[in-house]
Chains A and B, each alone.
Chain A
């Protein structure tokens, strides 16, 4: 460790500025970039989306000649292609939780709220930065996955073009869907404040609740299930629209869940002791 400076000569006055939302956004951008686990999670989501999509296309392309006619009818080149999104959503959802709960577990939140004692600007900045970064990263990931995957499928002439029906909507929708997944995780993290609890509640609501609905009478299950966060959000990925919720209505409902979780998190953030 280097030696301590002579304190008889304290460095001069710091230029005086006030806290603004834009400055807090910049601060959150620095925070997001400067933690290794964040970078790894985002990179993982990026490469899962491309890599798993490519592998899935390779496997399908290999088996396609032996597939039964009925399976060939069910096959849609885009669904196989976006297999990686399934794993990417886990990485991004968990990262969303961590972005806020890691501040609580390390104590960083006290430094954050000492710098910004009104607190809410910190939450808004996290939402803006994480949302923007996720979308900016996942849109190219989905597009690259599409062009790589379709090039593989093209060898068997089972590919679709970008201008085919639903394709552009599904691709942009996938990036938006992943962004909302991340923000839903962030909202849950703000409510729960604890990493294990946050991840557990995210996984429970997204992935455990849907199969649990099967214990309900079929008519109830059919009536309620499409409105669960996961099903609503996945409507945007559908290549055969005409389900319960139209693609954009479904995504909007999912965004509503995320907004509600963030709003509850915001109320608690201001009220609770840190």
Chain B
């Protein structure tokens, strides 16, 4: 017996909406790069913000994280903590905050 067809059809409708959103956001990424702020700082901020929104949509809906079990959330929370620590190291180094 397959999974509930009505439930899967509901999923499919959501997938198509997410797909459309991702295409719009990709266009927005290119538009912001072409016609957005000239300064490097704001350009990076806008591009990364759009990328984070796109990645969240993929993770929440395509990877089913919007309705996942608690164990997965714990695994991911730990991963995000270590990932941020990894990114923070070069920033610390560049800001010369580490002194001996």
Co-complex (A, B)? no
